[in-house]
Structure 1
Amino acid sequence: MSGLLKTTIRPNENSELKLGWNGTSDGWNEVGGGTLVNDVDLEANTFTARYNITDEDKSWLDLHVNASYNKTNMEMTSLVPQNRFDPVTGLPIVLPAGSMSTFDVGTSGIDIWNTSRFETAGIAHELTYGGDWVGDDVETGGAAGGASFYTPSGKRSVSGAYIQDKLTWDWLEIIAGLRYDSYKLESDVGETSGDRLSPRITVGVSPFETASLAGLQFYGTYAEGYRSPSLSETLISGNHPAGVSFPFLPNPDLKPETGKTVEFGINYKRDDILEAGDAFRFKAAYFNNDVEDYIADVTLSAFDPTSGCPFGPGIPICVQYQNFAKAKINGFEMEGVYDAGWGYAGLSASIIDGHTISYDGERAELLTIPSSQVTAQLGLRFLEDKLTVGGEVQYNGKPKGNPIADDYTLVNVFASYQASDNFKIDFRADNLFDVKYANPLNITTSGQPPEPVFAAYEPGVTLKLAATMRFGG
């Protein structure tokens, strides 16, 4: 059972408060070998609040405050005796029926920013400044394995502060910013922390004034980013609980990732091309992202005396998250849309490739790369634009470095009807032809010796129906 509540409160004409709740209480049985093996109970609640205040007479004021809290609790109880491996010794054990595993996580977050608009010497400024914070508090326990093993108990705090100025003068646009990030991880295994200052600059030029080319902009961006290691990446430890036994090694010395991205592209917009009121929008970009100290899981051999992997009762390997010297990710993205009012058509494409480079200079294809995609979309509007119907075809090409992914094509259809100003119905059918496919990012390992497999396949035909009603004008 699940529920959703949303409400909007407008204290005055310049401010708005949106409150929301999304909750789930569900239970199911897991099946293995045709037998019910686990009973799972899940409760999850998410609370959100978004506040905005702005005033046209006060150009310095455009304040946003977003806050959220999520609480997830999962309990898994074994229904039959199950063969497992002791997480400390790695020796085979039998979990009796009724053994329980628990997973309890609370995530809090807040994001505050304001934009001030003003001019200096004929240059328009949009100065945005703010800060954000996210905290995770994870508690796991029990002996049945599953989420309580792969997500170790601990706390993570990630915070940041930033300032950015968008300067516009005639045909020139410049966006310059700085962001400060910091993080801290704590658990019984150990703790780690770090911080960094990351710059960003974008320069855009619109050099043409003729009607056909006035909407053409060329731009280039250089930006740096910072990603702290997660609790699982840093603190996971113990022996693999099922299937085969091998140790997971914690790595409290795991460094955060630092990304340096260069992007070049064009934006183009033009109205009234074929008929009055139509519009065409197009954008394309090439990007190259160099990630230093890239984090990925590594299989270590117990036969290598320098690996730190001990011999144990299971297979002679260990798994540990480690830093690579670099990961290089590059790609091309494009999107174009033509809208004639009575209908619209769109075409988009993305091609992504990547590889890692070890500290010894060894190159390896990057497994965690999304599919390259080409998507075509067509929509038509009827009944004075109240009814919209359409469909899309999406081709997904397997990543070069993924050994088990396949190409696949999805067909989706959708419709929406705006019955009145206050009532709207939306319908969508995804994967209309029930294609069996897996997201390449869900790749994992299983078996002895470990082989790449998909952790899960995506849903087949999926139907979605939503109704939106607005009260109070």
Structure 2
Amino acid sequence: MSGFGRVNTMVDGITQSYFGTSTSGVMSHGSTNNQSGVLIDPNFIVGVDVARGENSGASGVNALAGSANFRTIGVDDVVFADNPFGVRTKFSVGSNGIGRSGMIAVGAKGAAFTDTGSLGVMAAISGSSIYSNFNNGDGVSSEDFGYDEFMKQNPKSQLFKVDIKPNEYHSIELSARTYQNKFSRRDIDSNDFYLKYHYAPFSELVDLNMTASHSKGNQKYDSDSLFTFFNTNAENRSDALDINNTSRFSLWQTDVAFTYGGKLMRNQYDKHVESQIEDPQTAHEAIENNTFAPSGDQRIASLYTGLQLNRDIYQLDLNLNYANNKLTGFKPACDLRVECFPQGSANIDLKEHGFNPSVMLSAQVTPWLQPFASYSKSMRAPNIQEVFFSNSGGASMNPFLKGERSETWQAGFNLSGNDLLFKQDTLRFKAVVYTSKIKNYIFSESYMVCRNGRKCSLGENLQNDWSDASEEFSDNMYIYVNSLTPVRTHGVELEANYDAGRGFARASFSKQHTDQPTSIASSYFGAGDINELPDMYFTLDSGLRFFDEALTVGSIIKYTGKARRLSPDFEMSEENGMLMKQEMPNIPTVIDLYSTYQINRNVLLKFSVQNVMDKSYSDALNKLNMLPIQGDEATAANTARGRTYLFGGEVRF
């Protein structure tokens, strides 16, 4: 389940707001592809933190189903603790279209300001060359199922960080990150900046954090890439300010941690479009009745608190946040033959607010068993891309769209043990079951014009055998609406990690189900998910270590269950007019082999063979699975890379 706000995606704690629109030539959905994303170089990532269903702190603001935070390389990742200067490099080269990639980071850190102060700086650059063609397990080229020369990429990124610590109480971090790429006939530029301040005096009552950020992204399109449009670009800007403090104290033999704070966010989306059509009125209508880069302004203000209580074997977490959302934008006038409110052009102003509580209780029943249970409510406001979707201009916009609200229950337990089979071995196991109910779930439906200009859904027309359809005016409007029936999801997740030093095994299993409706705009305009999350995943990562654990040799076995996609033939249900889902071909078990060799603290080498059995299969969540030609049995199916070799390493000194 994705989309702005359904999962809060962050980089270094900063919410991302990039919204990409591919060119018309990338016909992955019969038209352009529009989706949210994160512009981050993988070479800069050092870790990912994932939380499901939580609404605690700033990460829970306007987040329906949880959050994912990508952490990037910092000064201490480049400079060894006993060195004043440091250099860290990464490199990789792969076969079968993987291409090559490299990064170099330099840094310095030393004492400054006071006896307990320090100053650290770091600069990193990274670049990759990723080819647009590869062969699948049957030896078929990707060019035969939709990839083209414009999918070749050469992204370049820069990252700068400064760590200032005047003394043991204060610390400041400054960061600047840039990204440039040429992909699918558009130039992509992104710039992200943040300032973080931390104040922690000798007082348990004060642990103050402040984060201010600014992000700006731009996509400039080639003159012949968007049908009749030229001199076209889309821009997004995001500003945020988060301030919070944590007070710790003891009360009635209970350890208390009380966090309170607030967050302000503003996301703006603008575009510039010119048309080659000579007639001014026709050119204006072509721009107005187009889904390219919806424009608008979204502002979110939130207050949040978190209370953690620890007593004896019990821990209780109580969280509450309040969010106030405001969304504004321009709605053009509707055709007089279609009922619309407001009928004429208008500046739309949507407002919504709500409280979101959560509670989690856990108990360390024994040194090896910790059961837990939680309940949470969360919400997300409708975003600009949903409210101002404009395949039919103002007629397809919905100024009455409501935000989604979710209730989630979770229960599970953690197990841990040591010295089970061998001396100093460890076992960690976690099991979770969950269920969620989402009210006002947002999806898009196809609407027609009925008698007297009334809008009626395709499902209504099918039920009435088109008897009420207008004979004077015809239009097909894709409108984002709220589901009248709550969407329910439930599932189970299992994780196990066993490590005996010379050998290890990590296993994860998940099974989930959802009854969310399909969204018509995801098909023709690629404005959402076109694949369902497979009903089951199982991954086993196991291996052995040699030479005092310097050499690791392992394998990853991946099993993927049944998966469904939107019909590539755009088949509609004859009962309700909803876009139908289609079972994807069975995905075989895929095996990867890998090895790492830590020669010393300065040099790490890596080698892997992906899809070692050279299986031909389709990635369950690849958006090209719904390419229109996928409905043609005579055409090669969109499939993943066949056997691929990858060599890389890191050098640090």
For Structure 1 versus Structure 2, the TM-score category normalised by the shorter chain is: 0.7 to 0.9
How far residue 413 of structure 1 moved from its aligned partner, in angstroms, is 4.4
TM-score normalized with structure 2 length: 0.57
With the length of structure 1 as denominator, give the TM-score of the two structures: 0.76
The Cα shift of 1:389 comes to 4.2
Cα distance, 1:346 vs. partner?
Answer: 0.8
Match of 1:42 in 2: 188
Higher helix share: 2
Task: Give 1:173 deviation, angstroms.
Answer: 1.8
The 8 Å contact of residues 448 and 474 in structure 2, kept in 1 or not, is answered as no
- 1:22 paired residue among 169, 172, 177: 177
- State yes or no: 1:124 paired with 2:277: no
Does the C-alpha gap of structure 1 residues 428 and 468 become closer, same or farther in structure 2, counting only changes over 3 Å?
farther
CA contact (8 A) 1:74 1:104 kept: yes
Whole-angstrom CA distance in 2 between matches of 1:225 and 1:203: 18
* In 1: Cα distance, 2:170 partner to 2:378 partner: 33
For residues 14 and 343 of structure 1, what CA distance do their matches in structure 2 show?
43
SS at match of 2:291: helix
Could you say what secondary structure the match of 1:232 adopts? helix
The question of 1:162 aligning with 2:309 is answered: no
In the alignment, structure 1 residue 297 sits paired with structure 2 residue 449: no
Q: 1:285-434 maps to which residues of 2 (within 5 A)?
A: 285-303=432-450, 306-307=454-455, 316-325=475-484, 326-356=486-516, 369-371=532-534, 372-399=536-563, 402-408=581-587, 409-418=589-598, 433=614
Which residue in 2 is equivalent to 1:361?
Answer: none
Match in the other structure for 2:204: 59
CA RMSD of aligned residues (A): 3.8
Question: 1:312 and 1:457 mapped to 2: Cα distance?
Answer: 44
Q: Is the 8 A contact 2:449 2:473 kept in 1?
A: no
Instruction: Report the CA distance shift for 1:445/1:373 in structure 2 as closer, same or farther (over 3 A).
Output: closer
Q: Distance in 1 between matches of 2:434 and 2:558?
A: 22
CA contact (8 A) 1:439 1:458 kept: no
Counterpart residue identity of residue 357, structure 2: P
Structure ranking higher in strand proportion = 1
The gaps in structure 2 that reach 5 residues or longer are 1-154, 276-285, 332-347, 458-468, 519-528, 566-580, 633-637
Deviation (angstroms), 1:376:
0.7
User: CA deviation digits over 1:415-462, x for unaligned, max 9?
Assistant: 5555555766666665564755244484897879x99xxxx9777758
Aligned-pair CA distance for 1:194: 0.9
Q: CA deviation at 1:176?
A: 1.1
Is 1:437 matched up with 2:618? yes
Note the residue ranges of structure 1 that are not aligned, 5 or more in a row.
Answer: 31-38, 85-94, 209-213, 241-246, 359-365
Q: Deviations over 1:345-373 (max 9, x none)?
A: 11111111111489xxxxxxx97642221
1:446–1:101 Cα change, 3 Å: farther
Q: Could you tell me which of 221, 224, 237 is aligned with 2:374?
A: 221
Please, which of 360, 365, 370 is the counterpart of residue 202 of structure 1? 360
Q: What SS class does the counterpart of residue 109 from structure 1 fall into?
A: strand
User: Using the alignment, how far apart are the partners of 2:431 and 2:234 within structure 1?
Assistant: 43
With over 3 angstroms needed to count, the CA separation of the structure-2 counterparts of 1:394 and 1:176, relative to structure 1, is same
1:115-154 alignment to 2 at 5 Å?
A: 115-143=246-274, 149-154=291-296
Matches within 5 A, 1:87-98: 95=228
Q: Deviations over 1:293-352 (max 9, x none)?
A: 111111223358753579799975321110013111111111010111233211111111
| Aligned with 1:230 (options 383, 388, 392) | 383
Return 132-141 or 456-465, whichever deviates more.
456-465
Name the residue aligned to 1:91.
none
Q: Provide Cα deviations, 1:368-404, integer angstroms capped at 9, x if missing partner.
A: 6422211111143344344444332222223468425
How many Å separate the matches in 1 of 2:162 and 2:294?
38
The answer (yes or no) to whether the contact 1:353–1:399 under 8 Å persists in 2 is: no
Check the 8 A contact 2:616/2:640 in 1, yes or no. Answer: no
Rate the CA distance shift 1:446–1:17 in 2: closer, same or farther, 3 A: same
- Contact conserved, 1:405 with 1:438, CA < 8 A, in 2? no
Q: Which amino acid aligns with 2:353?
A: D
How far apart in 2 are the matches of 1:312 and 1:431? 56
Could you tell me the percent identity over the aligned residues?
22
Counterpart contact for 1:24–1:45, Cα < 8 Å? yes
